[in-house]
Chain A
Amino acid sequence: MKCGIVVFPGSNCDHDCFHILKHVLSQETHWLWHKEEANLESFDLVVLPGGFSYGDYLRAGAIASFSPIMNSIVRFAKAGGKVFGICNGFQVLLESGLLPGTLIQNQSRKFICKNVSVRVENTDTPFTRNCRENQVLEIPIAHHQGSYYIDPFSLNQLEENGQILFRYCDATGKVSAESNPNGSVGSVAGVSNEQKNVMGMMPHPERCADPKLMGTDGQIIFQSLISNS
């Protein structure tokens, strides 16, 4: 699988993503610089990593969504290419209109950095096809602006289209207000577009995908993409 990792000014999880794809999972991986448009035709996957692109000025992801590389990524996504946004990358995908909804400040107003459980809600996507139905993954979150918001009608539509890929839950897979760390509507932790080739999530699977570190639950998402390409 040929992968590209986008580097915005302020990205800080780009090297983690690069490390997992290239060194842990032995995939061909390239950097994509935000200032240049790129020919992505030969790529299988583009990852928008976490961080604080452009210092999160104005709104998280707002300025990055107008970077030259985003023109190439929008074209790539429209042609069916797989695009994966993690944390700040998710925020960029929402701001660019590739994914529906938006992310607002956590209900607690605090930056939250901890391991959480998420339940796989749809296994029929390139990002989740190696998962079991309702599988619970333990993946860390680290964000201040991670409360997913969309109007109730659109949330219902996402549900009907199977676009909700992950929900925050407890260790047994139960979804409740207590297991929702940031106040996201519907406990949504990750969503895809209607075609299922663009996905964004707040938890960081790249932080739990190297066997040298504690936990490898995040690997299954990258493995799904690899076995699908």
Chain B
Amino acid sequence: MLAQIHVTFKEGVLDPQGKTVHHALNDLGYDEVLDVNIGKYLEIKLDSASEEEAEIRVREMCERLLANTVIESFRFSLVPTE
């Protein structure tokens, strides 16, 4: 199983990288760009017995280590692999 995890800043937390890219895109003429958020994307290969178990364990990994929940939120999906 593969966990595909996105970690992004919570709303209201300053994201200087996102702001810079936002301005750069506007400078390139992409005036429709309203906001840019830059986060992290992680792929974790798992050897889990079931999707339910993987769901619980990945959530725990995110809360304990992968995201700092003071400023970041996370979401993930589980994809079956061969």
B38, chain A: closest CB distance, angstroms: 10
- Contact check, A106 vs B16: say whether CB atoms are below 8 A apart: yes
Taking a contact as CB atoms under 8 Å apart, the answer to whether B16 and A107 are in contact is yes
Encode contact with B along A18-36: 1 for CB under 8 Å, 0 otherwise: 0000000000000000000
| Residues in B neighbouring A102, C-beta threshold 8 A | 68, 70-71
Task: Say whether A105 contacts B17, CB under 8 Å.
Answer: yes
Q: Is the CB of A109 within 8 A of B14?
A: no
**Number of A-B contacts defined by CB within 8 Å:** 31
A104 adjacent to B65 (CB under 8 Å): no
**Binary CB contact string for chain A from 138 to 151 against chain B (1 if under 8 A, 0 otherwise):** 00000000010110
**Which listed residue (A58, A63, A101, A109) contacts B16, Cβ 8 A?**
A109
Shortest C-beta distance, B12 to chain A (Å), equals 8
Judge whether B54 is part of the interface by a CB distance below 8 angstroms: no
- With most chain A CB atoms within 10 A of its CB, the pick from B20, B66, B70 is B70
Shortest Cβ distance from residue A182 to the other chain B in the assembled complex, whole angstroms: 10
Size of chain B's interface in residues, with CB distance under 8 A?
A: 10
Q: Give the interface centre of A106, A107, A147, A149 by most chain B CB atoms within 10 Å.
A: A149
Contact (Cβ within 8 A) A149 B70:
yes
B14: which A residues are within 8 A, CB to CB?
Answer: 104, 107, 147, 149, 183
Collect the chain A residues with CB atoms within 8 Å of residue B16's CB: 105-109
B-facing mask of A82-114, CB < 8 A → 1, else 0? 000000000000010000011011111100000
Q: How far is the CA of A59 from the CA of B16 in the complex (A)?
A: 15
B residues in contact with A108, CB < 8 Å: 16
Chain B residues with Cβ below 8 Å from A183 are 14
Across-interface contacts of A104 in B (CB, < 8 A):
13-14, 71
Q: Which residues of A contact B (CB under 8 A)?
A: 58-59, 62-63, 66, 95, 101-102, 104-109, 147, 149-150, 183
30 contacts between A and B (CB under 8 A): A58-B65, A58-B66, A59-B68, A62-B65, A63-B65, A66-B65, A95-B68, A101-B70, A102-B68, A102-B70, A102-B71, A104-B13, A104-B14, A104-B71, A105-B16, A105-B17, A106-B16, A107-B14, A107-B16, A108-B16, A109-B16, A109-B17, A109-B20, A147-B14, A149-B13, A149-B14, A149-B70, A149-B71, A150-B70, A183-B14
Closest 4 CB pairs of A and B: A102-B70, A109-B16, A105-B16, A102-B71
